[in-house]
Amino acid sequence: MRERYGDEVFDIRVDASIRFAETPLAGLSILQYAPESPGAKAYRSLARTVMAQGQEKAAAAVTAVPARAGTS
């Protein structure tokens, strides 16, 4: 994956487990069904990483855009 996608691949790994297979039967997400499972913890970690990366990119974009003359 990393050879093909490079930096787009995160270091966080979400391993398969029986809990994932059980969630559709329960009608819940893994975060609701088994919130303390390794899979749920991995998804929360991945979400935090993606959000932090998005915030960094947004901050970089804001600082890279020059202010227009005559606007406030």
31-49 pLDDT, tens digit per residue, is: 999 999 999 999 999 999 9
Mean pLDDT, residues 36-65: 87
Residues in contact with 19: Cβ distance below 8 Å, sequence separation at least 6, in sequence order: 30, 33, 34, 37, 39, 40
Quickly state the pLDDT bin for 67 (edges 50, 70, 90): low
For the segment 7-12, the average pLDDT, to the nearest whole number, is 86
Give the count of beta carbons closer than 10 Å to the beta carbon of residue 30.
21
pLDDT at 72 over 80: no
As a whole number of angstroms, the distance between CA 47 and CA 30 comes to 14
- CA nearest 33: which of 44, 46, 42, 20? 20
User: What is d(CA 72, CA 70) in angstroms, rounded to the nearest whole number?
Assistant: 7
| pLDDT given for residue 8 in this prediction | 83
